[in-house]
Copies of this chain bind each other. A is one copy, B any other.
Amino acid sequence: MIRHVVMFNWTPEATAEQVEQVVTELGKLPARIGAIKAYAFGPDAGFAQGNFDFAVTADFDDEAGYVSYRDHPDHREIVQRLIAPIMAERSAVQFEVTGP
């Protein structure tokens, strides 16, 4: 299994409404993109200073599943319309999950 992890820092100008829209639209993706086996995301809970603002984790059977998510038009649309305009920083990893 491949786990895709991505974190965002938002711009200082990003509003709560803009972030809420990201949450709402991301929530629609698992029903639309069959390759998604598990999907979780949310704003940082505020336990630690210096954290990023938001994270997404997404599980796929394999690299092809990840790529089909990455390139899916419904995903691209959210990235371009809602995320890119408020994104200050992004960091990502895809890693192979083994074991239970």
Contacts and interface: CB of A to CB of B under 8 A. Distances in A.
Contacts of A54: 93, 95
B93 A44 contact: yes
A10 interface: no
Contacts of A7: 5, 7, 91-93
Interface string A29-57: 00000000000111111011011111101
Interface of A: 2-3, 5, 7, 40-45, 47-48, 50-55, 57, 63, 66-67, 91-98
10 smallest beta-carbon distances between A and B, as pairs: A42-B95, A55-B93, A40-B97, A45-B94, A44-B93, A5-B55, A91-B91, A52-B93, A47-B94, A51-B92
